[in-house]
């Protein structure tokens, strides 16, 4: 038998029918919706008088536009946002799908709660009208973002027409330093190979350094496959995956678990499988990263400088536009840049392990004067777990706001923003123009780097905190 990649196994297991060209009809195991786009798909489905093919495989959460300030209700800071919430609630209840409502104890960001509840499983196909659905590939699933119209089709038929992507394997080898995180691996990949380096590919992350990552770090790595322009990103499941999933609410139990485990252990690329492209990165040579411009590929080590145009990996026009927007010039050290805000949250870095690592940087320290600092847990489960460990007190004592769960200021959709021309360091995944508010200047980095920068009042890595600031 010909050796096959993991992606080829996932594809063939869900192949319903080959279609014209290089497209196929693929079976969809899970559909996850949220209030910003899910209500559109559900309303359209109702208007067409079609029914859900299987409500038990469909889930919905309130995450994108919900207010994350303490004491929240249905009102949002987005004009008209209350209607999104109420209409999604009504539509979800009408068709009988599981809704994680605003004040549900399991509410949270879709890509955080799906893994933590065991909704995404190895070998499954998962779709959501959200570009960062590939996050969930960290558990060995084929997960990808779709539009509202495609969501309607998946709801009604349990299938989608998909163009088959090429295959790529990105191997991270070696041993990373203690300050280098999964976020840094992702940013380094994008900086080196460009924000369109994965365009048209299903990317398998592999190698010794990936195997060493815990599941929540793997979720961060796969999340950033979107910023690499990949169709999806995923990691072969292993014992860490199975230990993470066992006992979760939607995971199989008893004899079903044993049967599933037997099948999941075969979900890996065969020895000798051929990929359309392979990339190898030595992580021992990497340092904590931060972006300087308006694309995730505009990134350098935290200790670096804004690169010259010839070293920026971008066109002259986009380079000059990025410098103008960010208020920078080439050669400026990143650690000389003062910040006005720091944000920890998003589907990229808002899980319990992220908050633990940031809290260790903040413990016994204070946010610099003039810096607004905000922490938004990725789910209510994460928030409760963090509070049980006293992490909320660490953040509050340091001067951070401690919020309810949601997407919050990962993106600006007419609601809460950081502020025009404010320079913010953020654990989110995108630094596009006005991503966190009109004219806001965003630098993306790991939670540790965000925390260290908040303390210093300027961009800084956790390894750069001077002794007098480190002392508690």
The last residue of one of the domains, among 162, 197, 214, is 162
Q: Please report which residue ranges of 228-376 form alpha helices under DSSP H.
A: 239-245, 254-264, 316-326, 352-362
Judge residue 182's burial from the number of C-beta atoms within 10 Å of its C-beta, 0-12 exposed, 13-18 middle, 19 or more buried.
buried
C-alpha span between 169 and 198 (Å, rounded): 10
Q: What is the CB-side half-sphere exposure of residue 39 using CA atoms within 13 A? A: 16
In terms of domains, do 154 and 298 share one?
Answer: no
Task: Name the nearest CA neighbour of 340 among 422, 396, 408.
Answer: 422
The last residue of one of the domains, among 114, 143, 162, is 162
Average pLDDT for the chain: 96
Q: What are phi and psi of 17, to 5 degrees?
A: -160, 140
Determine the pLDDT at residue 1.
Answer: 72
- Angle at which helices 391-398 and 352-362 cross, to 10°: 40
pLDDT tens figures, 2-26: 999 999 999 999 999 999 989 999 9
Q: Residue 219: helix, strand or coil by DSSP?
A: helix
Determine the pLDDT at residue 472.
Answer: 41
Q: Give domain status of residue 207, yes or no.
A: no
C-alpha span between 399 and 257 (Å, rounded): 45
Q: Give domain status of residue 158, yes or no.
A: yes
DSSP-assigned states of every residue in 327-348: T--TT-BGGG-B-SEEEE-TTT
pLDDT tens figures, 252-285: 999 999 999 999 999 999 999 999 999 999 999 9
Q: With bands split at pLDDT 50, 70 and 90, how would you rate the model's confidence at 470? A: very low
Q: Is the pLDDT of residue 355 over 80?
A: yes
List beta partners, residue 400: 373
Number of domains in the chain: 2
Please enumerate in sequence order all residues whose Cβ is within 8 A of that of 345, keeping only pairs 6 or more positions apart, or say none.
Answer: 374, 375, 376, 377, 378, 403, 407, 408, 409, 410, 427, 428
Residue ranges making up the domain that contains 33: 29-162
- The CA-atom distances, in angstroms, between 30 and each of 43, 57, 245, 351, 423 are 19, 5, 16, 22, 39
Q: Give domain status of residue 273, yes or no.
A: no
Residue 108: DSSP 8-state: B
Q: Give domain status of residue 375, yes or no.
A: yes
Determine the pLDDT at residue 16.
Answer: 98
CB count within 10 Å of CB 41 equals: 27
303: domain CATH number?
A: 3.30.499.10
Q: Give domain status of residue 372, yes or no.
A: yes
pLDDT tens figures, 411-438: 998 889 999 999 999 999 999 999 999 9
In terms of domains, do 297 and 434 share one?
Answer: yes
Q: With bands split at pLDDT 50, 70 and 90, how would you rate the model's confidence at 38? A: confident
- Mean pLDDT confidence for 36-55: 92
Determine the pLDDT at residue 466.
Answer: 73
- Cα-based angle 292, 297, 298 (whole degrees, multiple of 5): 20
The last residue of one of the domains, among 141, 162, 183, is 162
Residue whose entry in the numeric block shows the structure tokens 């994008």: 190
pLDDT tens figures, 121-137: 999 999 999 999 999 99
The secondary element (H helix, E strand) that includes residue 203 is strand 201-206
Q: Give domain status of residue 173, yes or no.
A: no
Q: With bands split at pLDDT 50, 70 and 90, how would you rate the model's confidence at 471? A: very low
Contact 422, 338 (CB under 8 A): no
Q: Give domain status of residue 49, yes or no.
A: yes
Q: Give domain status of residue 438, yes or no.
A: yes
Q: With bands split at pLDDT 50, 70 and 90, how would you rate the model's confidence at 467? A: low
């Amino acid at each position: 038998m010909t050796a096959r990649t993991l992606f080829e196994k996932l594809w063939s297991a869900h192949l319903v029918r080959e279609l014209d060209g290089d497209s196929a009809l693929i079976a969809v195991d899970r559909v996850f919706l949220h209030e910003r786009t899910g209500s559109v798909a559900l309303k359209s489905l109702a208007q067409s008088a079609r029914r859900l093919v299987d409500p038990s495989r469909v889930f919905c959460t309130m995450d994108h536009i919900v207010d994350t300030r303490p004491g929240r209700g249905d009102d949002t800071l987005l004009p008209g946002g209350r209607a999104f919430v109420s209409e999604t609630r009504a539509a979800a209840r009408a068709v009988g799908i599981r809704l994680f409502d605003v004040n549900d104890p399991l509410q949270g960001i879709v890509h955080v709660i799906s893994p933590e509840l065991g909704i995404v499983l190895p070998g499954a196909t998962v779709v959501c009208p959200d570009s960062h659905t590939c996050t969930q590939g960290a558990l060995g699933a084929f997960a990808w973002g779709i539009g509202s119209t495609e969501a309607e089709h998946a709801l009604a038929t349990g299938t989608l027409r998909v163009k088959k992507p090429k295959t790529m394997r990105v191997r991270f080898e070696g041993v990373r330093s203690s300050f280098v995180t999964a976020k840094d691996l992702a940013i380094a990949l994008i900086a080196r190979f460009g924000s369109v380096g994965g365009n048209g590919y299903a990317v398998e992350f592999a190698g010794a350094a990936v195997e060493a990552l815990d599941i929540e770090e793997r979720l961060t790595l796969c999340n950033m496959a979107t910023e690499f322009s990949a169709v999806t990103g995923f990691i072969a499941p292993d014992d860490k995956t199975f230990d993470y999933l066992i006992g979760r609410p939607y995971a199989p139990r008893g004899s079903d678990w044993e049967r599933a485990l037997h099948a999941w252990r075969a979900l890996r690329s065969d020895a000798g499988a051929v990929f359309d492209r392979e990339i190898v990165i030595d992580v021992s040579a990497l340092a904590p990263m931060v972006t300087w411009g308006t694309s995730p590929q505009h990134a350098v080590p935290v200790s670096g400088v804004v690169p010259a145009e010839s070293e920026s990996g971008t066109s002259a026009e986009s380079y000059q536009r990025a410098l103008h927007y960010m208020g920078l010039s080439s050669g400026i050290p990143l650690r000389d840049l003062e910040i006005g805000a720091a944000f920890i949250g998003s589907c990229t870095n808002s899980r319990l392990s992220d908050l633990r690592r940031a809290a260790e940087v903040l413990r016994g320290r204070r946010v610099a004067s003039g810096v607004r600092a905000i922490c938004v847990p990725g789910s209510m489960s994460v928030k409760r777990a963090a509070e049980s460990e006293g992490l909320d007190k660490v953040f509050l004592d340091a001067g951070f706001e401690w919020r309810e769960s949601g997407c919050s200021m990962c993106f600006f959709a007419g609601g809460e923003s950081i502020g025009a021309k404010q320079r913010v360091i953020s654990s989110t995944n995108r630094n596009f123009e006005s991503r966190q508010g009109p004219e806001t200047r965003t630098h993306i980095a790991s939670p540790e780097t965000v925390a260290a920068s908040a303390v210093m009042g300027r961009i800084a890595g956790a390894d750069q905190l001077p002794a007098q600031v480190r002392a508690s």
